Amino acid sequence: MAGKSSHELDIVNGSVFPKYLAFIIPMTLSYMLQIAFNSADVIVVGRFDGPNALAAVGSTTAIVSLIVNFVVGLSNGVNIVIARDYAGERFDKVSDEVHTAIFSALIGGIVLGVLGAVSARPVLELMKSPDDVIGMSASYLFFYYIGLPGIAVYNFAAAILRAIGDTKRPMNFLIFSGVLNVILNLLFVIIMKLGVVGVGAATSISNYVSAFLVLGVLIREDSCLKFDPKQMKIKKAEFSEIMKQGLPVGLQGSIFSISNMLIQSAVNSFGSVYMAGNAAAQNIESFQQCFISSNLNTILTFTSQNVGAKKYRRASNTIRKAWLWGMTGTIILGILIVLFRFPLLSMFTTSDEVVSVAVRRLIPVVMLEFLGVTMDATASALRGFGYSVEPMIITLLGSCVFRIIWLNTVFILFPYYEVIIIVWPVSWVVTAFANFLYYKKIRKKFPNEDM
């Protein structure tokens, strides 16, 4: 069995900061490109198909996240188990995990895509989507969900590469597919006049392209990461371990999205102008969240590899440093977004009313987003040490349940848009504090020295 990859980033030796940058910069750009897929959809329909189309596509964010976050969460399980076994030089096991992961992604993506397409309109009705946009929203979701197998395969395959510290190649694939997505958006919407159907189809096609590109790299690998389609099958032990680590993260992401869907329902009650403004602000905030997600995955991969190599002191030091660097980067991005808020929002809409609503959400969220870094950093550290269920429970109680209670108490008493928005930073503080206390408890179970 072939051993290590020539594209490996040596995470368990040497200075942390240069490797942190080498890992997080391509990954942040990759996440930004993924967000740009949906942002391109929103920009094109907002500028060329009107405010209702903008509201229709933008209001689907929480619904799309329900399934996509589940898939991305499961891919964290792939990252954890491969990083741990790769660092421990269990290369035969890594190969079995690679083939199990890809096959699971393909089958799971098909099943989830069908479920999403069938349930799109009923879910929109439950969210009280207005009559003037619900038809367009349902059409967009149908074509978006057709691309879910591509999303699943790409994220699982990219997680395999991230497990060895390779974030550059996934970034290159998303640059190509991202450019393709924009070109197809313009073609389908401006020239072919397909509206929201066109942007949904463009995104699905781009997702399949990125999946094929990353699979092509794994097929050509000369290491234990090599993927042979003929050997593609699910091995019970490897599948169980991936699910053990990834399923709690996937369930957390989905339930997180349910709480955000309830928040979106509350926003919908204010009408299509608020829906459009909220959608524009969300898309800009997403670029800041890309860095936070990248920091989360950096901590996850670095911790998993160091724990796999039994370098426990290095793991703890890396967690502390990545948390501080993540906080700093998030604050800087928040300041930049606030300074350039009007040019950024002008990409999504020409309506002064929509911009006004967007600003009311954008400023408090991006300036307090650094609080979410602590919540995510401690959760990722726990998962890197092999504890995935506990941070899921803490996050669901501290964020999701808390947000639902907030909507059914505080928002009912004070039915203002700002009351909806402030629920995010408050829930970040609650969850971060609980995660930190539990991490301190778990860390005591492991040695303080490198083995």
115-124 pLDDT, tens digit per residue, is 888 888 888 8
- Distance CA(306)–CA(112), nearest Å, equals 34
Q: What is the pLDDT of residue 336?
A: 95
Residue range 30-62, pLDDT digits in tens: 777 767 666 666 777 777 777 777 777 767 776
Q: What is the pLDDT of residue 82?
A: 94
Q: What is the pLDDT of residue 177?
A: 87
Q: What is the pLDDT of residue 37?
A: 62
The encoded tokens of residue 3 equal: 């051993």
Mean pLDDT, the chain, whole residue set: 87
Q: What is the pLDDT of residue 46?
A: 73
Q: What is the pLDDT of residue 195?
A: 79
Helix crossing, 91-126 with 61-87: angle to 10°?
Answer: 170
Burial class (CB in 10 A: 0-12, 13-18, 19+), 165: buried
Q: What is the pLDDT of residue 103?
A: 95
- Residues (pLDDT < 70) of the chain are 1-2, 34, 36-41, 58, 62
Residue range 209-236, pLDDT digits in tens: 999 999 999 999 988 999 999 888 889 9
- For the entire predicted model, the pTM comes to 0.81
Dihedrals phi, psi of 439, to nearest 5 degrees = -60, -40
**Residues 412, 268: contact at Cβ < 8 Å?**
no
First to last CA, the chain: 26
